[in-house]
Structures are given as C-alpha cells and as structure tokens.
Amino acid sequence: MDFFTGGILCILLLLVLMGMGLQIGLSFLLSGAIISTLLLGFNSSLSLLGQVAYFSIATPTWACIPLFILMGSFAAIGGFTRRAYNGVNVLSKGVPGSLGIATCFSCALFGAVSGSSIATTAIFGKMALPEMNRLNYDKSFSVGCIASAGTFASMIPPSMMMIIYALFTQQSVGKLFAAGIIPGLLTALCYAVLIYYRVKRNPSLAPSGSSDENRRPSSGKLREASQMWPVIIIASVVLGGIYSGWFTPTEAAAAGALITLLFGWFLGSLRKFGDVTGAMKDSANTTAMLFLINIGALYYSRVLAVTGLPSELTMLLQNLEVPRFVILLGILGIMFLLGMIMVPVGIYALTLPVVFPMLVSLGYDPIWFGVIALKLTEIGSITPPVGLNVYAMKGVISKDMNISLEDIFRGVWPFCMCDIIVLVVLIVFPQLSLWLPNLLLG
C-alpha cells in the first residue's frame, strides 16, 4: 500500500470508528496506529506514538490548560457565575428580554474566567433557566438563548480551543487570546440586539418582570452590579498580565487560579476543604480526558503528515486556476459541515495539517484564521446532530419542564443565523480580529 492511499484510509477509518461511537481520543489513537503500522511497521509506529505522547505535551503551553480549567472550577464553585449573572441582570432590568440579554453578557463575562463553553452552558442552564421559567419565558427561546450564549467561552479568552489551535499551528497564545476579544463581544452584542428585536415583535417570548423590579432605584442597581468586581479583577489580572508582558500564559493561568481561590476564601464561598479538593479532582478528570484527546489528535495528525496526503492536497489546490478566496470558502464549507458531526479537537486534527500550510502560503493571516476556525466550531457546537452545547443544555434541564432536544435545536437556529452573519463580517473585515493583537503584541 502506497503512502497516499494510506492517508485516505486513515481519514476513512477515523470517520468509521467515530460513527461506531468509539471515544474520540481512542478513535484518533486506533486509526493512527493501524495505518502507521501498515505503512511503517509495528516498532516504528510504537516509537512514533511514544515520541508524540512525550514531546507533544512536554512544552510550557500545555501547563496552562489544567491551570485554566482549575481556575474555572474555582470560579464555578465559588459562586462567581451567580455574581456575574446578578450584576448584569440588574443593569438590564426593564429592557425587553432582559433575562436573555443578561444571560448573553454574563456568559461573555464568565467566559473570561472559565474557558469552557460546555461548562458555561451547564452552569447558566442551572441558574438562568429556572428564573426565565418563573417569568413565563418561552421555553424554546430560553434554552436556545442559554445554549448559544454558552459558546462565548470558546472565543472570549482564556479559551481552551485557542490554546489547542496554537499547539497545532505553533502560533502565539497571547495573540490568539487578544484576537478573540472583539469577535466575542461583537457576537454577544448581536445576540442582545436579536433578543431585543424578537421580543419587541413578539412580547409573548419574554413577558416583562414585575414593575417593582423595573422601578428599582439607580443606587440599588449600581450596588448590586458592583458585586461583579471579583470576576472583573480576575479577568484583568489574567489578560492584563499576558498583554503587559508580566506573565506568560502559563503564569497567568496560575495567577488566575490562585486569585480565584483567594477571593473564594475571603468571600466565604470556598472555605470548605472538600470544595477545594473537589474542584481539583474535577479539574484533574477534565484535564486527563482533554490530554487523551489532544495526544490522540496530535498523533493522528503526525501519521497523516507521514502519508504525505496534506502536502499532496496542498499542491493540488494551489495549482487550481481559481482565486484564493474560492479555496478559502471551500475550506470553510468543509469545516462547517464537519462541525455538525465532530468535536472541535477532531476537526482541528483532521483539517489543520492539510489546510493550514496552504492558507499561510496563500497569504492568509494564521491568527485571523484561528478566529474564523473557532467561530465555525462555535456554530458547530449548537447545530445537529452533534451539538455539544445543546446536549449539555439538555443534561441540566429538569424532567418536569418537559423540554425536548427538538425544542432546544429549534431555539438555537435564530442565534445560529446571527453567528453566521458575524462570521461573514469577520471574513470581510479581518482587522476586527487583528487590530487588538497587533496593537498589544505587535
């Protein structure tokens, strides 16, 4: 069997294993091991796996992943989610669809100390949905808003997927973090406008709160809004430390986790030793799962590179007599379709070894493409059949609410269309992504 055929079989085998329901990390490892054994022999395949397993994570960048996960766990257990939600909610009182708008901006704010879209969706599903249900919000509208807003944690730094993209492409984590700020806030703003417009046209989607809540004095609103200060300080320390040059991403993650723990202790929400150890255990479990997926994905991409398939396809597409924008649209279309059936790490492992060298040779900025790729995975996380945020949302809904997966998917489609519009804007105006990283990091 020649190497090019081996590359094609490697992709097909991965899709078959994932279609059979095998865990994504094991699918990467097994498909890569089978094809590399056929091409290189068992000993060489095992040696390649050992090298990837060690050298792929023996870099300082990997150390920031468990630390950011730990910071998010401390923030969730310490009640910072509730502080962010209550603070934004009180400022939006009286606006049509105020709870939906508060959820959007609270998810964006909490994303600055979380980094996990699934965790953000689950947390706000437990916290915001009962309140929306109490005020007789339309159920499909409510769950669609929460599931979609949870994706902000993928774009708003610190983002796990940005770190993984940086590891696959050898790009600056700091620049990627900076590049995601404006697109993330732009998406939150577009969601808020969409909610306002839909509720204005159809008030039954989100009935107004009580008049007593809407007439709350401004001093009371400001006092309640001020409770967001721990989240703002933590985000400022992490991002400010990176962009000022005081911290590397790993040091910023460590500082963020420590400050989050200290705030939780002083505020009384993290004083039980069991809460701290529980957060550390959850972070260890999540880290182990994520590392298995990433090692498998990197091993798979290395095997794919050995087959020569990525370079062959790169040369083929570069020799086509078509504008470079057509090639870009084709790549984005493929990633969009893959987003409906694969998890983001799998998409990166399958596509980046092939398309990234080609896009760079065509003159596209790798930081800008990272934002575009992340936006596509955000859309994929709320589209069927593998919309991870939708399933996370379904998992936290109590049975007595009688909300089906179909209700959630129906609720996210207006927000999905909003995401597509933002994606088009980011493609047409690359400086929306590049202005801030160029300003801060050159």
pLDDT tens for residues 323-377? Answer: 888 888 888 888 888 777 677 777 887 788 778 888 888 889 999 999 999 998 8
- Burial per residue of 238-262, b for 16 or more beta-carbon CB atoms within 10 angstroms, e otherwise: bbebbbeeebbbbbbbbbbbebbbe
Note the pLDDT of residue 287.
81
Average pLDDT over residues 271-290: 84
The region that residue 340 occupies, defined by phi over 0 for left and psi between -120 and 50 for alpha, beta otherwise, is alpha
The whole-model pTM stands at 0.80
Structure tokens at 392: 């996370």
At residue 213, does pLDDT exceed 70? no
At residue 57, does pLDDT exceed 60? yes
Cis ω before 385 (30° cut-off from 0): yes
Mean pLDDT (the chain, rounded): 83
Note the pLDDT of residue 424.
94
